[in-house]
Amino acid sequence: LLLVGCATCLLLAIAAVAVATGAAMAPADRVELKLGHSLDQNHPVHLAMEFMKERLAEKSSGTMILEIRPNGQLGAETECLSLVQRGVLAMTKTSAAPLENFVPEMAVFGIPFLFEDEAHFWRVLHSDLGNDLLEAGADSGLRGLSYYDAGARSFYTISRPIMTPEDLKGLLIRVQESPTSIAMIESLGGSPTPVDFGDLYTALQQGVVDGAENNPPSFYTNRHYEVCKHLSLDQHTRTPDVLIISQRWWQRLTPQQQQWLAEAAQESAEYERKLWQEKTQEALAGAEERGVTIHHPDLEPFRQSVSSMVESYAGTPTGDLIEKIQAMGGEQ
């Protein structure tokens, strides 16, 4: 009897340990998500992703861990997108520009002077159309979670300022890996040269390109101002950044985990939007202090130069999106 009793105790004890360890090791319980992106650690979008990491850990009581790898450590944006699509990497944050190679609808964010102002831009992003665009990549493996403000992109150059489209003639201008960005520079008269963001500082320094275009925080945090002393605020495009999770990883999460992540992504986007204005002002002031001249060109000649490019999309899916977005302008 004594022997039987002991054996039962032992079995119960083993069962208890098995349940405890089994629960702790169940695959759905603890999730580590690796996120690769190309920006610097001082960039507002990176800071917002750090905030997301904290919020996710809090919501999940430390069971969902985000490991953020900045500065293109895991590859340039197109490479990260391809890794995420295949499920090799869980998450990434890229500009909508290279995303158009995977999700063709994203090309619309590369159309110059599409948005009347910031209010128009956010009205579109927060509409059904904006949500549909975010989810448009899910079938091809790339599920958008949220948009980050990436302001407006403007030209910066090494030797002479861009005041009119004529000033771009003969200049090699770095572009993102995006057909629409290439078409835009061509329509303005420059020579587009795709270079990965992580290689751009060296390309500018070595004179491989004569200039580039980006938003002020990216120009500043990657120290492109050390080489380019002219920033011309023509604000040709408002191309958002997009936070993406691999559809394969998303499907492996429980509904509860999906909810925590979606909420943390949302809070991170709101946090970033507040930070953006302040960091943009800081970047402009910081660049000026370091010898950059900020120019305010007349935008009309730029608009006119790209008008035939914009018209060339008529009747295409991008053309339809352009029309829908234009129809949302001028509203309150």
Which parts of this chain interact with ligand GCU (CB under 6 A)? 38-39, 45, 77, 94-95, 150, 176, 197, 214-215, 218, 241
Q: Between 118-125 and 128-135, two packed helices, what is the crossing angle to 10 degrees?
A: 60
Q: How far is the CB of 79 from ligand GCU (least distance, A)?
A: 12
Angle, helices 44-59 vs 255-289, to 10°: value is: 150
Shortest Cβ 180–ligand GCU spacing (Å)? 13
Task: Please identify, using beta-carbon distances, which residue of 45 and 231 lies nearer to ligand GCU.
Answer: 45
CA angle 89, 92, 98 (to 5 degrees): 115
CA nearest neighbour of 278 among 47, 79, 39, 4: 47
The rounded distance, in Å, linking the Cα atoms of 214 and 240 is 11
With CA atoms as reference, report the closest residue to 233 among 175, 180, 303, 163: 163
- Give the amino acid at 6: C
Q: Which of 48, 64 has the CB closer to ligand GCU?
A: 48
Distance in angstroms (rounded) separating the CA atoms of residues 249 and 33: 9
We find the least distance from the C-beta atom of residue 58 to ligand GCU, in angstroms, to be 26
- Which positions ≥6 away from 19 have C-beta within 8 Å? none
- Six-digit token pair at 227? 């080489």
Query: Is residue 172 within 8 Å of residue 209, measured between CB atoms?
Result: yes
- 31 or 228: whose CB is closer to ligand GCU? 228
Q: How far is the CB of 277 from ligand GCU (least distance, A)?
A: 16
Whichever of 95 and 157 has its CB closer to ligand GCU, that residue is 95
Q: How far apart are CA 48 and CA 186, in angstroms?
A: 34
Q: Give the nearer residue to ligand GCU in terms of CB position, either 85 or 95.
A: 95
By C-beta, is 203 or 294 nearer to ligand GCU? Answer: 203
User: CA torsion sign, 108 to 111 to 114 to 118?
Assistant: positive
Q: How far apart are CB 215 and ligand GCU at their closest, in Å?
A: 6
Strand partners, 172: 191
For the bound state, the minimum distance from the C-beta of residue 181 to ligand GCU, rounded and expressed in Å, comes to: 9
Give whichever of 180 and 214 is closer to ligand GCU, judged by the CB atom. 214
Nearest distance, CB of residue 110 and ligand GCU, angstroms: 11
Q: What tokens were used for 240?
A: 């958002």
The answer to whether 145 and 250 are in contact (CB under 8 A) is: no
